[in-house]
Structures are given as C-alpha cells and as structure tokens.
Amino acid sequence: MPPILPDVRSEDWRAVWLGAAVAVAASLLLTVLAASLESTVNGPGRRTVAEPVLWAVGGGAGLTLGAVVTGWMTRRIGAAALAALIGAAPLLVLVIVAYNSTDLRFEDQLVGTLIIVVLPAYLGAVVLGSLAALMARLFGGRHALRNTRQ
C-alpha cells in the first residue's frame, strides 16, 4: 500500500515542523487580529463583511506564511502542503469555538466552517507555498541545486 503522506525526506521534517509551527501561531494570531478589526472594517450599524470572512483572511494569511516558509526551505510542494494542513487543524477548532452559533447543529457548523473558512485558506496557502518552492528552486542558488540532486 502506498504511503498517505507526501514524500518528505528525513532531513526536510525539521523544516516541515518549523513551517507548521509558523502556520499554527500565525494563523491563530492573525485570525484573532482579523476578528478584532471587525468593527473597524464594518463600521457602526453596518455589516459589509461577515466575521467568518475576516477570520478566513487572517487564518489564510497565517497558513500561507507557514507554507511559504516550508516551501522555501525544502523546495518541495508536498512539504509545504503538509505544513499548511497541520496549521489548518487548530484554525478549524478556533473558528468553530469562536463562532459557536446556537442556530446551527454542530455537524452543520463543522462542515460549513471547513468549506467556507478553512478550505479556501488551505488551498491559497498550498498555491503560494508551491510558488515559493518553485521560486526557491529557480533562484535558490547553488545550495538549492546541491540539495535537490541528492
């Protein structure tokens, strides 16, 4: 049976865990920051942008930061996607706990949060992490070429 995880070399795991830590910390911090800016963005008496959209932007920026760090360090797309996936789990938990709507059943809230907030943030992080891995391979210098040929 083929392995479930992407092909990550043993020396790249340190970069994956570093990127995952950056993704977790930055996504949680930027999500809270985006939630606190809700009154500034919407203004008094208006709701131009919904709170979950702001949370998705903040969380997506954090996931992207972690994926870009990992993609640049490892020069591998799978490692960047894995770091963003590890960072997406705490983001999902935070948004579910923060939203906590009594109008919705838990299952509906979980699926809605996953589809509306976390999945687009994850996909954006994977795309930008892939671009970072590609740019690192193109512009990383001799050290990058030496590491990818091993």
Q: pLDDT by residue for the chain (150 residues), tens digit each?
A: 666 556 667 778 888 999 999 999 999 999 889 888 887 887 777 777 878 888 889 999 999 999 999 999 999 899 999 999 999 999 988 888 877 777 878 888 888 888 888 999 999 999 999 999 999 999 876 554 445 544
Domain boundaries, the chain: 13-148
pLDDT of residue 145: 45
CA angle, 82 then 115 then 104, to 5°: 130
Global confidence as pTM = 0.82
User: Residue 23 and residue 84: Cα distance in Å, rounded?
Assistant: 6
Cβ–Cβ under 8 Å, residues 29 and 62:
yes
pLDDT of residue 35: 83
What are 14's two structure tokens? Answer: 């340190």
pLDDT of residue 129: 95
